Each structure stands twice: as C-alpha cells, then as structure tokens.
C-alpha cells in the first residue's frame, strides 16, 4: 500500500476482522441474564435475548446442544449461559453461541423434575383410584434393574429367605446413563406382557443425576400403562423419583420392596396353623350345639308322643273329608237347580220363536211401505205425464211437424228470424218436420212474411 493512503475494508472484511478479534480475545464465557424473545425454530435451533437492567445480548443455541437441556426455557427465566461470543456476519451484530444453559438458583435437573411432576400430576397419573392391590402370594415376580447391581442381590436374598419357592424373572436394564430410561420402560412393558404377578422396578441410592432415568417421562408412562401391580424401589428413604408417584406402591429400598411383595413363609405357616385351630374350634362348637339341640328335640313331646299326634291328625283329616263331601254335594245341587231355571228361561225365550215374530212383523211393514209408496208416486206419475205432453206440444220439433220450417244461414249456422239478416246469393238450410233443403237466396222482400199475416194482408 502506498504511504499516506488509508486501508479500505469491504463490509465482509471488516466483519470478519471483528469476528476474529471477539472470538480470539473473549472466547468462551459464562453470562448471567434473563431470557426474553424466546423462539424455537422449526429446525430445532433456539433464538433468544439475554438481558439485565441495562443491556441485552442476542443468543442462539443450536439443535444439538438444545437436546441436552433438562428444562424448558421460557421468557422471564433467569439463567446462566456458557458460550462463545461471535459475530453473525449477515447482519453484522455480535451474539452469544450458547453451548450450555442452566437455570439460575435452581439446578436444571431439579427444574425439569418439578415441571414433569406437575404435568403428570395434572394428567392424573398419580391418582389413588388407579392404584392396583398387590397379590397375597405371587408365584412369579418380575424385576427390572441392573443384573450386576447390589439392588438385585438384595431382592434375591430377601425373597429366598422369606419364601424360597417363588419364581423371579429379571429383565436386565441399565439404571444410569442416557440409555437407561428406554431400557427400563421396555423392561416394564415386556414383563407386563409376559404375565408376572407383581413387578419391582428400582435401583440403589445415588445423586439426582444417577437416579434421573426413573424421573423420565417414558418410564413413568410405562409404569402407569402396565396392568401388573408395580412397586417402585428407587434410592434411599429420602429420595423420591417420579416412578414412586406413578407406581402402585413405593418402597424406600429394593430390600423393602422384596419384603412387601413376599410375605415370610414362617409367618404364613403360623397364620395358616392359627386359622386351622380357629376353624377346628368353630367346627367343634357347631357340632356340640347341634348335638344339644338334637337331644332337646329327641326328648320333646313331639318325638315321645308321635303316635298320639298322628291319631289326632287322622281324625281331623276324616272330619275335613266328610265336610268337604257335604259341601261338594250341596254345591252340585245348587248348580243343578240353577241349570234347570236357565233351561226353562231359554225355552220361553227361544230364538226361533222370536225370529218368526220378527219375520211376520217385517212382512207387514213391507206391505205398508209398498202401499204408501204407490200412494205417493201415482199422482206424481200422472202429473209428469201431463207436463210431458204439454212440453211436447211446445217443442219446436212439434211445431215443425205442423208445417212450419226453420231457416239457418250458412256457413255461420245462424237461425234466421228476419229477412233483413240475409242478402241475395246467401246460402241457407231450411229444416222441415221431415228433411232439410239447401238453397240460395235470390231476392229479399222485407214487406212480406208473418207481419202481413197478422195484419190480414196477403202473404
């Protein structure tokens, strides 16, 4: 570069220079702040702002790191973020690329535990109404735990000491680490499908991180879905996992779970013997009471004078039989008398006699009706004949028969009553009493016709 001339940067060059200075000078830092503008993109990357009372800082956490966060970030939450300060070249602003995120004042695992606990409790997974009773004498006990851990050895020792002839089915599963939750859940579902009588799910004590697989949602839902009663035996007495709340019963240790699920054989034998003795005493009391009652019945009047009682009953039976025969004869006599009365009444009220009376009455009424009908119709028939004759005399047909004719103008078929309705060369039809004449008008004389006949003039 020539001396005296300033160095000129492009925007990209300057941005990259600033990026190198920030990343090289500051590097990885811990930042304390409050989350705001939190947004989870479809890609799985999280974008948010860290702020305090005076300033704010853009931050991004990529999907691979987000999968390790044990709590749900949200606006307003105070957090500690560890990451590298860098520059987003496209916009030219600096940001914190977060690699680790923890809630401030409360551990991430504890926060995740509390949130999941509230969620499962709201869904009813902890309700007592879902708890199943443990079987009294299970034949097959399923255990989901590590085969090399002390928890399984403790369970075996307790069960063999208390009741040796019990079958134990172990589903080996890791109880610590990232893959443990999936293996525990698979073990619960597998033993439930195999049909064990009761199931123990647990491990020995440890830190919250060590016990965390038993706080996973997959394990809690697998225990809740199982039809087999489940005992959760995780940690020591002071440790409570979410599996303890979901399970049908919680035991503080695996050994305590074994004691709950298998009662001691000696205690059971003593209880059986005690119940046998009680049953024998109760049976003896029942037999003794029955014998006393039998002796009292045997010495009673019923058994000592049984023949006397039977004689009295036979006599009473004979008296009742005689009274029954008399009552039956009396009833038959009354029924016979009633039947005879009914027969006489039927003879007097014979349907045939009544039918003959009704037929005679009907014939009489028919004759009266015929005479009355003739008296009513004859005058009307005579009057009708007179009216018909009069109507015939007034009929135009009768007039035509006497020598008159009707003229019709064609083709209108108009009846002509006045010669003025016609004109020369009009076609007419003339109706006579017998036959029709078709003619053509040659001349019209309006002075002739019926008018001259009425005045005495020549037609």
CB 67 within 8 A of CB 93: no
Q: What is the pLDDT of residue 308?
A: 65
- Domain limits, CATH 3.40.50.261, in the chain: 113-263
Least Cα distance to 180 among 156, 144, 204 occurs for: 144
Q: What is the pLDDT of residue 316?
A: 81
- Taking only the tens place, the pLDDT of each residue in 280-295 is 899 989 998 888 888 7
Count of CB atoms within 10 A of residue 77's CB?
A: 19
Residue 188 confidence class, pLDDT cut points 50, 70, 90 = very high
- Domain limits, CATH 2.40.50.140, in the chain: 11-105
As a residue count, the chain comes to 459
Strands 93-103 and 436-440: unpaired
% of the chain beyond a pLDDT of 70:
87
Q: What is the pLDDT of residue 174?
A: 92
| Measured distance CA(413)–CA(424) in Å, rounded | 17
Residue 140 confidence class, pLDDT cut points 50, 70, 90 = very high
CB 426 within 8 A of CB 409: yes
Residue 18 confidence class, pLDDT cut points 50, 70, 90 = confident
Whole-model pTM? 0.45
Please give the CATH architecture assigned to the domain spanning 113-263. Answer: 3-Layer(aba) Sandwich (3.40)
Residue 269 confidence class, pLDDT cut points 50, 70, 90 = confident
Q: What are phi and psi of 157, to 5 degrees?
A: -60, -45
Q: What is the mean pLDDT of residues 152-180?
A: 88
**Which one is predicted more confidently, 9 or 127?**
127
Does 171 score more than 90 pLDDT?
Answer: yes
- Taking only the tens place, the pLDDT of each residue in 384-403 is 878 877 777 666 766 676 77
Residues 6+ apart with CB under 8 A from 453: 459
- Give buried/exposed letters for 150-163 (b at 16+ CB in 10 A, else e): ebbebbeebbeebb
Q: Give the CA angle between residues 100, 102, 105 to the nearest 5°.
A: 155
CATH superfamily of 11-105: Nucleic acid-binding proteins (2.40.50.140)
- Taking only the tens place, the pLDDT of each residue in 350-364 is 677 677 778 888 888
User: Among 70-74, 128-132, 177-181, 264-268, where is mean pLDDT lowest?
Assistant: 264-268
Least Cα distance to 247 among 135, 141, 131 occurs for: 131
């Amino acid at each position: 570069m020539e001396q005296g001339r300033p160095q000129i940067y492009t925007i990209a060059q300057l941005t990259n220079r600033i990026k190198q200075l920030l990343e090289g000078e500051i590097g990885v830092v811990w930042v304390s702040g409050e989350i705001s503008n939190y947004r989870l993109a479809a890609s799985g990357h999280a974008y948010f702002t860290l702020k305090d009372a005076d300033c704010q800082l853009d931050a991004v956490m990529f999907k691979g790191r987000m999968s390790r966060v044990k709590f749900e970030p949200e606006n307003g939450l105070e957090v500690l973020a560890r990451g590298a300060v860098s520059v987003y070249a496209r916009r030219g602003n600096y940001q914190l690329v977060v690699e680790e995120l923890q809630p401030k004042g409360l551990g991430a695992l504890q926060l995740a535990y509390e949130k999941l606990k509230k969620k499962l409790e709201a869904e009813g997974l902890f309700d007592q109404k879902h708890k199943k009773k443990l079987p009294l004498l299970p034949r097959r006990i399923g255990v989901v735990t590590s085969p090399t851990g002390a928890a399984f050895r403790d369970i075996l020792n307790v069960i063999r000491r208390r009741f040796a002839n019990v079958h134990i089915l172990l589903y080996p599963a890791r109880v610590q680490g990232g893959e443990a939750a999936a293996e525990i859940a698979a073990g619960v579902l597998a033993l439930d499908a195999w049909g064990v009588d009761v199931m123990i799910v647990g491990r020995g004590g440890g830190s919250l991180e060590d016990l965390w697989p038993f706080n996973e949602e997959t394990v809690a839902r697998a225990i809740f879905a199982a039809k087999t009663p489940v005992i959760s035996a995780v940690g020591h007495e002071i440790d409570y996992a979410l599996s303890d709340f979901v399970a049908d019963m919680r035991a503080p240790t695996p050994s305590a779970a074994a004691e709950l699920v298998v009662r001691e054989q000696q205690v059971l034998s003593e209880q059986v013997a005690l119940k046998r003795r009680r049953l024998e005493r109760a049976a003896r009391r029942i037999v003794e009471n029955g014998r006393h009652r039998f002796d009292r019945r045997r010495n009673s009047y019923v058994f000592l004078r049984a023949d006397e009682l039977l004689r009295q009953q036979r006599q009473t039976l004979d008296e009742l039989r005689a009274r029954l025969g008399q009552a039956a004869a009396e009833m038959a006599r009354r029924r016979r008398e009633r039947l005879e009365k009914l027969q006489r009444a039927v003879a007097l009220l014979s349907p045939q006699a009544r039918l003959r009376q009704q037929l005679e009455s009907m014939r009489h009424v028919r004759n009266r009706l015929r005479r009355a009908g003739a008296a009513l119709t004859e005058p009307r028939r005579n009057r009708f004949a007179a009216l018909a004759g009069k109507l015939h005399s007034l009929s135009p047909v009768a007039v035509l028969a006497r020598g008159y004719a009707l003229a019709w103008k064609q083709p209108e078929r108009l009846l002509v009553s006045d010669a003025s309705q016609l004109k020369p060369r009009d076609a007419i039809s003339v109706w006579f009493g017998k036959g029709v004449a078709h003619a053509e008008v040659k001349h019209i004389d309006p002075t002739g016709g019926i008018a001259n006949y009425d005045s005495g003039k020549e037609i």
